[in-house]
Structure 1
Amino acid sequence: MTTENKTIVQRALAGLIETGDVDALAALLSDDFLHHRPDATTSTRTQWLANVRAALTPIAGMQVEILHLLSDDDHVVVHSRRKLPDAGPEIVVVDIWRIDNGLIAEGWETIEPSARAAANLTWWAPAS
């Protein structure tokens, strides 16, 4: 099952990153898909796909390097480094996808600009 789930996520990402085909991505999402962001924002399938479509122009030509692709039962985790074209910022992204009945049913996403990573390593340190 975990290999099949990884394949579903790989197909979804490859279709979007390589071709910008949002409809191919949509075909792999369940009707009740939910997407969660760290700011506690949750989007429905329709809302999230609209956001993805709106982001396609700014991210066209983005380079994506998959650093880790892990699966456990019905969850798949993708850890990637992404660089926008034309000297745009580099970000590190962790996506967690939950698969149900062969479709992506839920997703969580955390994005960190690489340039700010060192500052974020000391968030727990007491103030001087």
Structure 2
Amino acid sequence: MTAENKNIVQRALAALIETGDVGALASVLSDDFVHHRPDSTSSTKAEWLAAVRTSLVPLAGMQVEIHHVLADGDHVVMYSRRRLPGGGPEIVVVDIWRFDDGLIAEAWEIIEPVAQAAANLVWWEGEPAGR
């Protein structure tokens, strides 16, 4: 199933990116799908698909370079770099997908603007003494 899960993610995302086909993505999500964001918010299948549909127009023409797609058991992890159209910011994205019974049941997404990456490499250092 690991290879098949990777194929499901790659096919659905390719269809979404290349043609804007949200239906290809919707068809591989379970009815009780949950999407998690780093700010601790979550959305249902219907809420997330609505957000994806809304974002398609501003993201039309986005370049996506998939660097890694890894699978282990019921999880698929994808690391990609994305460039927004019109000279918009470059971002890196880590998507984690959990499968249940052949469908994506949960997803986590972490997005970081490349321009801010250096600042985020030292978050654990805290404030210097005396400030």
How high is the TM-score relative to the length of structure 2?
Answer: 0.96
Match of 2:57, as an amino acid? T
The structure 1 segments of at least 4 consecutive aligned residues displaced by more than 4 Å after TM superposition are: none
**Amino-acid identity (%):** 71
- Aligned match of 1:104: 104
Match of 1:64, as an amino acid? V
**How many residue pairs were aligned?**
128
Provide the secondary structure at the position in 2 that maps to 1:15: helix
What is the rounded CA distance, in whole Å, between the counterparts of 2:45 and 2:126 in structure 1? 41
Q: 1:24, CA displacement in angstroms? A: 1.4
Query: CA RMSD for the aligned pairs?
Result: 0.7
What is the rounded CA distance, in whole Å, between the counterparts of 1:58 and 1:99 in structure 2? 29
2:126 aligned with 1:126? yes
What is the rounded CA distance, in whole Å, between the counterparts of 1:84 and 1:13 in structure 2? 16
Q: 1:12, CA displacement in angstroms? A: 1.3
Unaligned residue ranges in structure 1 (runs of 5+): none
Unaligned residue ranges in structure 2 (runs of 5+): none
Higher-Rg structure is: 2
Provide the secondary structure at the position in 2 that maps to 1:65: strand
How high is the TM-score relative to the length of structure 1?
Answer: 0.98
What is the rounded CA distance, in whole Å, between the counterparts of 1:77 and 1:114 in structure 2? 19
Q: Matches of residues 24-103 of structure 1 in structure 2 within 5 Å? A: 24-103=24-103
